[in-house]
Structure 1
């Protein structure tokens, strides 16, 4: 595209609709308008000028407001979809991994759960496509801001005092008439009193204030870009951690996403209100629900492994801190915070069985199965032993003749065993679950009799670390500054020019709050005896209304 030369001689960049020097309309479309388009001061925007190369097309795509709004709508719809089923961090799945999480959604929610997991809605804010959309929104904000800010800034910085009469008489506020000889001096004096920045050139005057309000939307965009940058940083390792750790009493486990740190659960405590003494105020609630928690806490020990240790190694660990984690009283270390969020009581830890003769009830000995790490064989002495052929922590039934387990948590343990005694050296097979025994190969001479069980509590901890909060806070603060800047302030301008015959031409413009502009102009007009002004937008609306009424009257007569 070629540069546009105005009649005043100024060379304007291609795409300009109002001359940067005198303000004349440069396009036929703009010449036919009753009022000039002052949104971007008539300057050329790159997106409306170039459309040849692939870079131009990409720039034009992301500079479109429609594209930006569409991305926002898609993100909002996706966020709403993410609330239909719980996010993966809020589901209770022991030994969390992709397979167990996928199985959970399929088992609990069926086909909908499978599709939900496949599309990544189970971890919405960590899914690749959601991150890509957030990145596209950030790019759209940057490109759209640059596409509009740069030409607008250049135009306002270099705006001229003297403007062509066609520019003046196409402004919304316009006046033309005779005035006293000292009108210009008095106008300058009064405008300065009203805190306007006044520039005088020859027989012209430009008064301006509140230009900074024009940058409000772009400050908003800067705040949003910083905020989105903070959101995307959460996807980077080490910046954001929000993990769940289920740890049993007596167990030592590595802290997720905190390399080198381990937690040992020394003890878990639950205390409830009794409704006695100072706790009488809870008596009604206790009677209604049965129990009201007073405190639940995990007494833990924090360890740190030496730097030279292999991943997962627990030898030579150093004690860092001992702490009682309670609700809203987390353990804090190295930027991490460990919160008490949930618990499970009386989880089976071990079970003790007797090997007895079914007829005589004679016991050949007992053994204890550790339900976390069971052994393959148990020797009872005197030639008796029990081999553990299969262990199913959460027995859920048979599928094609094979025992199945729903979860790795020992909620309903099942054991497939082979029992050896002096009378049965080849062994007898039995499948045992709580309160039920199956002998798949026929009646056995011996059986396993349940004697006792040991339980323990499990504490649900949440590990959190967020280094992006300062960035998010800064982005939010800048965004709110931009909102106040653009909403509560406005850009007001007056052009006043004295003609050779002594008459005065006045034009006024503001990006919002025309009432405030007129109020200022009334004060200047009264003080400096400016000619009466008209609001041309109101005149245009009156003419259009009158035409509609005349048309309606003509239709009624016909």
Structure 2
């Protein structure tokens, strides 16, 4: 790449706006208009040469330039926000009712929009490959944009010199010229040090600087964001993050996901407590509670027992040998804690799920007759049941959640919410008969049956829904968020201020620059120049604005 040699002899990289040594503006890069001498310098990144504005030849250069653009970064953020918002329109797959088939659920519940939602992959948005790709692109954009700006700015600020070019001084926003040969430089240095400025001198030229560290605030922000994004992406590594849902019925014992078969949980009892609308202690909510169609839960919890498997390693097909570890309770925001960072959160529940159903066999036209009863365990139904008189009732088909579709029985889910059965009844010495029985349903398909299977009783139980979580990514995210806030504070509450003092034969020039808060810089300069014989400089941008306003109002500024 070609280089730019300044009149001071310093060789600058191509694309440099201000000479790294003396600060002379390179007009072809500064885009200044010679007919407008009042035009101020472009001090962005202190005039350093950025790679994205210099190298534009190879494919790598084009990729680098694309991701270093702030507009591209903002566009990626907007795309990520929009995608995340769309992902909340309908429930994610993990929150669908147990047993639901996502391939049909979204279309059945939400119509065409639901089907499009599913087909585009929004049902599993946060683990989809394209969502991860957008996050990765945002991370790449932040890294490249930071490197593209930080390195040249750091090099420029590290080797800045007090002695600056004439045009550098004149075209600063804060600039003043004093004609006075009796300047008290010792008083000036004392005042600057009292304001906590760090002084640099070269041939009588003076540079006062403070709060340079504030310039790195945005880059500290970027480091924090990178760590947060890294933590978010680590959530898709099974060893780092787990979020499973466990439905467990009262009296049931199940393996806890993520423990490799080491831990089991038994649901001893599910408790639901609701607010009493007539309770005087709830007087402030009484009207709201009375307007509710259904009782409002006050507390729901799972009383559980945690077991540890003792016959490890696991032998396939062998019943586990369990040892009780502890009694535990899972309540909302009060999870059950296990080792390996696993927590079981109370997340949902279902009341009065069917557990068993008892039937009797009687004459079709006379319900008072009773040839025997049998009970079907809806969790593990038997293939056949033998009554006292030798009648065999075979379970031909079982529909846990029954629904008729054009007159044909279909199964909606595998959970017993509306059970129905097809029984084959074989009386001793008689031809078998087929009956269809359920809650409120009893159909003789042929119309020629002599017997009928009738529902006598049923048993119910509650089901609790627990979220099983393990999250090792939180330290990354929390650390990244802390660093991000440090960067915010660093860049928000401090600002980089510089004052150049340049002695002349008849007096002195003063120039100042800051990355923000010009009023505070002007106030600093005015206070440090008190009793030194140097006149306060002016804010050239403010003076220019006054002239422009005067022209608009038709007021002469002569």
Q: TM-score if structure 1 supplies the norm length?
A: 0.91
SS across alignment from 1:430 = strand
SS across alignment from 1:40 = helix
Q: CA offset at residue 353 of structure 1?
A: 1.3
Aligned to 1:449: 454
**In structure 2, C-alpha distance between the alignment counterparts of 1:314 and 1:235, rounded to whole Å:** 32
Q: CA offset at residue 484 of structure 1?
A: 1.4
Asked if 2 retains the 8 angstrom alpha-carbon contact of 1:495 and 1:507, the reply is yes
**In structure 1, C-alpha distance between the alignment counterparts of 2:531 and 2:197, rounded to whole Å:** 15
Q: CA offset at residue 304 of structure 1?
A: 3.0
**In structure 2, C-alpha distance between the alignment counterparts of 1:259 and 1:341, rounded to whole Å:** 23
Aligned to 1:126: 127
The within-5 A match list for 1:197-346 is 197-260=198-261, 261-272=263-274, 280-282=280-282, 284=286, 291=295, 293=297, 295-305=299-309, 306-310=311-315, 314-334=319-339, 335-346=341-352
2:22 paired with 1:18:
no
The within-5 A match list for 1:373-384 is 373-384=380-391
The within-5 A match list for 1:333-412 is 333-334=338-339, 335-359=341-365, 362-399=369-406, 402-412=408-418
**In structure 2, C-alpha distance between the alignment counterparts of 1:108 and 1:303, rounded to whole Å:** 39
Once superposed, what is the RMSD of the aligned Cα atoms? 2.5
Asked if 2 retains the 8 angstrom alpha-carbon contact of 1:256 and 1:463, the reply is yes
**In structure 2, C-alpha distance between the alignment counterparts of 1:24 and 1:273, rounded to whole Å:** 76
Deviations 1:311-367 (CA, angstroms, capped at 9, x unpaired): 796512333222132334321112122122332222111111112233565433222
SS across alignment from 2:418 = coil
**In structure 2, C-alpha distance between the alignment counterparts of 1:518 and 1:166, rounded to whole Å:** 20
Q: CA offset at residue 246 of structure 1?
A: 1.3
Aligned to 1:174: 175
SS across alignment from 1:528 = coil
SS across alignment from 2:372 = strand
Q: CA offset at residue 447 of structure 1?
A: 1.2
Aligned to 1:555: none
**In structure 2, C-alpha distance between the alignment counterparts of 1:208 and 1:145, rounded to whole Å:** 24
**In structure 2, C-alpha distance between the alignment counterparts of 1:333 and 1:2, rounded to whole Å:** 64
Q: CA offset at residue 303 of structure 1?
A: 2.3
The within-5 A match list for 1:470-485 is 470-485=475-490
Equivalent of 2:533, from 498, 523, 529?
A: 529
SS across alignment from 1:28 = helix
Deviations 1:134-187 (CA, angstroms, capped at 9, x unpaired): 111111111101100100011000001101111111111112232234433332
Aligned to 2:116: 115
SS across alignment from 1:356 = strand
Q: CA offset at residue 229 of structure 1?
A: 1.2
2:496 paired with 1:491:
yes
The within-5 A match list for 1:405-484 is 405-425=411-431, 427-484=432-489
Deviations 1:442-467 (CA, angstroms, capped at 9, x unpaired): 32011112221121111122222222
**In structure 2, C-alpha distance between the alignment counterparts of 1:383 and 1:314, rounded to whole Å:** 34
Aligned to 2:5: 5
2:161 paired with 1:155:
no
Asked if 2 retains the 8 angstrom alpha-carbon contact of 1:491 and 1:511, the reply is yes
Equivalent of 1:515, from 519, 523, 527?
A: 519
**In structure 2, C-alpha distance between the alignment counterparts of 1:294 and 1:541, rounded to whole Å:** 63
Q: CA offset at residue 288 of structure 1?
A: 5.8
**In structure 2, C-alpha distance between the alignment counterparts of 1:133 and 1:258, rounded to whole Å:** 32
The within-5 A match list for 1:15-94 is 15-30=15-30, 32-33=32-33, 34-91=39-96, 93-94=97-98
Asked if 1 retains the 8 angstrom alpha-carbon contact of 2:198 and 2:210, the reply is yes
Asked if 2 retains the 8 angstrom alpha-carbon contact of 1:504 and 1:531, the reply is no
Asked if 2 retains the 8 angstrom alpha-carbon contact of 1:524 and 1:530, the reply is no
**In structure 2, C-alpha distance between the alignment counterparts of 1:322 and 1:192, rounded to whole Å:** 67
**In structure 2, C-alpha distance between the alignment counterparts of 1:530 and 1:255, rounded to whole Å:** 78
Asked if 2 retains the 8 angstrom alpha-carbon contact of 1:18 and 1:42, the reply is yes
Q: CA offset at residue 102 of structure 1?
A: 3.0
**In structure 2, C-alpha distance between the alignment counterparts of 1:454 and 1:524, rounded to whole Å:** 88
Q: CA offset at residue 74 of structure 1?
A: 0.8
SS across alignment from 1:77 = helix
Closer/same/farther in 2, CA of residues 536 and 359 from structure 1, 3 Å limit: closer
**In structure 2, C-alpha distance between the alignment counterparts of 1:367 and 1:477, rounded to whole Å:** 64
Asked if 1 retains the 8 angstrom alpha-carbon contact of 2:403 and 2:411, the reply is yes
**In structure 1, C-alpha distance between the alignment counterparts of 2:158 and 2:172, rounded to whole Å:** 20
Deviations 1:485-514 (CA, angstroms, capped at 9, x unpaired): 111111111111112x24212211111111
Asked if 2 retains the 8 angstrom alpha-carbon contact of 1:356 and 1:449, the reply is yes
* Worse overlay, 26-35 or 509-518: 26-35
SS across alignment from 2:531 = helix
**In structure 2, C-alpha distance between the alignment counterparts of 1:312 and 1:382, rounded to whole Å:** 37
**In structure 2, C-alpha distance between the alignment counterparts of 1:329 and 1:424, rounded to whole Å:** 60
Asked if 2 retains the 8 angstrom alpha-carbon contact of 1:213 and 1:489, the reply is yes
Aligned to 1:187: 188
**In structure 1, C-alpha distance between the alignment counterparts of 2:271 and 2:538, rounded to whole Å:** 79
Asked if 2 retains the 8 angstrom alpha-carbon contact of 1:190 and 1:527, the reply is no
Aligned length: 543
**In structure 1, C-alpha distance between the alignment counterparts of 2:274 and 2:536, rounded to whole Å:** 81
